[in-house]
Amino acid sequence: MIKVNDIKKDFPIFKRKINGNKLTYLDSGATSQKPNQVIDVMSDVYKNNNANVHRGTYVLSSETTSKYEEVRVKFQKFINAYNSDEIIFTKGCTEGFNLLANSLCKNLNKGDEIILSEIEHHANIIPWQMAAKKYGLNIKYIKIDDSYNLDLDHLNSLLTSKTKIVSIVGESNMSGMLPNIKEIVSNVKSKSDAIFILDGAQLVPHRFVDVKDLGIDFLCVSGHKMLGPTGIGVVWGRKELWDSMDPVYGGGDMIEEVYYDKATWAPVPHKFEAGTPPFVEAIGLGVAAEYLMNISMSEVQQHSDILREYAKNKLENIDGLNVIHSVSKNAGCTFAMSVEGAHAADMSLMLDTYGVAVRAGHHCVQPFHRKLNLDATFRATGYIYNNEEDFDTLADAIENSIKMLK
């Protein structure tokens, strides 16, 4: 069982007061807070080891290179990858999806199909739209049913011999939906030769993701949502797929030989990491992964499930509050909400007066908001440093705000 009060001591931001109240931070779906362990290791690198990685033969560069490359091994363990060379560092999920869309789609044929879902983040829509337009591909969308879950019968109807890529969210940043990825992958693979990509931005911080067990081909991760710094992420992929793909970015570090008329590429993973990498951020991400593994991801998941049930019961009993959340028992601790007659931004501002931090807007899920006839919602997401008291504070603040609006 996670001891939230002990964990909070590792996060210096919780010493802050907001509008005279203790900080109730429920915006981890946008970005997580950072523990001292992550902050300190990054500061230490800048103070004591700062030097560009790779090729430097002097002590500082050798030290930093070792720390940087060790993160691949840590992340291999974190997601149970086959080997550390399958770990590609990116700036985050958005860059990861752009990398995959640009590299994979150039090898497809005109008329080939990509399947996404109706509740995808824009990062898992826009890159595919751009690639589809460039290469003459078609995009299909899996419907979301009335319980805010994937319509698997509809997915089955979409699968054809032309299906080449299926890319879906592992945990919705709007409804908390947690599709049964292993079952879906098995179904997709039995009916097509499609590459399966999993958006792990919300999933990986809260649940153990075993890429071997799931049978997926690629996984995109954002470091800043799992206690790590901004500007760093991971794309894991099967080695044989990486080896068959062309790099998207060109420059230093990703080459083997360069001539005036041609170049050859470095082996994976460096083939996909052009230029000076965000090595300090990567080292911070490694410590963040260790922090979560030290708690144990099974404990993190159990905490999310317990908190989700408590929050769900609390929020769904508030008069005048519309809660958008997966009906399934297996869901994440994320709740999008709306109040008739009140804009989401206004609700967020009112909650802030109580020290409650939530996100307002369409959460980069604008098409699905449009489907629900909503311009925007405000959203709360629980994490390891949240407890029942935080959702009590949220519920009280919402109720008081609704009363003020009447």
301 lies in the same domain as 272? no
Task: Name residue 156's amino acid.
Answer: N
Task: Return the pLDDT at 55.
Answer: 86
Based on C-alpha coordinates, what's the Rg of the chain? 22
Task: Return the pLDDT at 1.
Answer: 85
262 lies in the same domain as 163? yes
Residue 215 lies in a domain: yes
Residue 89 lies in a domain: yes
Residue 304 lies in a domain: yes
Q: Is the peptide bond before 269 cis (omega within 30 degrees of 0)?
A: yes
Q: How far is it, in rounded angstroms, from Cα 259 to Cα 251?
A: 13
Per-residue pLDDT of 360-405, as tens digits, reads: 999 999 999 999 999 999 999 999 999 999 999 999 999 999 999 8
Q: Strands 21-22 and 24-25, how do they pair?
A: unpaired
325 lies in the same domain as 206? no
Which of 243, 265, 294 is the endpoint of a domain? 294
Task: Return the pLDDT at 123.
Answer: 98
Residue 44 lies in a domain: no
Residue 35 lies in a domain: no
- With the C-alpha atoms ordered 403, 148, 227, 65, is the resulting torsion angle positive or negative? negative
Which of 241, 261, 294 is the endpoint of a domain? 294
258 lies in the same domain as 308? no
Q: How far is it, in rounded angstroms, from Cα 76 to Cα 175?
A: 29
Q: How far is it, in rounded angstroms, from Cα 1 to Cα 297?
A: 11
Task: Return the pLDDT at 143.
Answer: 97
Largest CA distance in the chain: 72
Label residue 48 exposed, middle or buried (CB < 10 Å: 0-12, 13-18, 19+). exposed
Residue 34 lies in a domain: no
In percent, the amount of the chain with pLDDT more than 90 equals 98
Residue 327, SS3? Answer: coil
Instruction: Give the domain extent around 319.
Output: 4-27+297-405
Segments of the chain scoring below 70 in pLDDT: none
177 lies in the same domain as 246? yes
336 lies in the same domain as 260? no
Task: Return the pLDDT at 264.
Answer: 97
269 lies in the same domain as 359? no
Supply φ then ψ for residue 311, to 5 degrees: -65, -40
337 lies in the same domain as 280? no
Per-residue pLDDT of 243-291, as tens digits, reads: 999 999 999 999 999 999 999 999 999 999 999 999 999 999 999 999 9
171 lies in the same domain as 88? yes
Scanning the structure block, which residue is given the tokens 């890529």?
Answer: 165
Task: Return the pLDDT at 329.
Answer: 80
Residue 32 lies in a domain: no
Catalytic site residue 93? Answer: no
| Residue 272 near residue 72 (C-beta atoms within 8 A) | no
Query: How many CB atoms are closer than 10 A to CB 238?
Result: 16
Task: Using alpha carbons, select from 291, 277, 293, 295 the residue that is nearest to residue 87.
Answer: 277
Q: Strands 233-237 and 87-90, how do they pair?
A: antiparallel
Q: Is 360 left (phi over 0), alpha (psi -120 to 50) or beta?
A: beta
Task: Return the pLDDT at 405.
Answer: 87
Task: Return the pLDDT at 406.
Answer: 73
- Helix ranges, 335-387 (H): 344-352, 366-371
Structure tokens that stand for 47 in this block = 């103070």
Q: Strands 113-117 and 377-381, how do they pair?
A: unpaired
Q: Is 291 left (phi over 0), alpha (psi -120 to 50) or beta?
A: alpha
138 lies in the same domain as 167? yes
| Residue 335 near residue 324 (C-beta atoms within 8 A) | yes
Which of 279, 294, 309 is the endpoint of a domain? 294
Fill in the DSSP letter of residue 49: I
Q: How many domains does the chain have?
A: 2
236 lies in the same domain as 375? no
Specify the CATH number for the domain of residue 326. 3.90.1150.10
Residue 41 lies in a domain: no
| Residue 313 near residue 104 (C-beta atoms within 8 A) | no
63 lies in the same domain as 180? yes
Supply φ then ψ for residue 334, to 5 degrees: -130, 135
Q: How far is it, in rounded angstroms, from Cα 144 to Cα 227?
A: 30
Q: How far is it, in rounded angstroms, from Cα 156 to Cα 133?
A: 25
Specify the CATH number for the domain of residue 273. 3.40.640.10
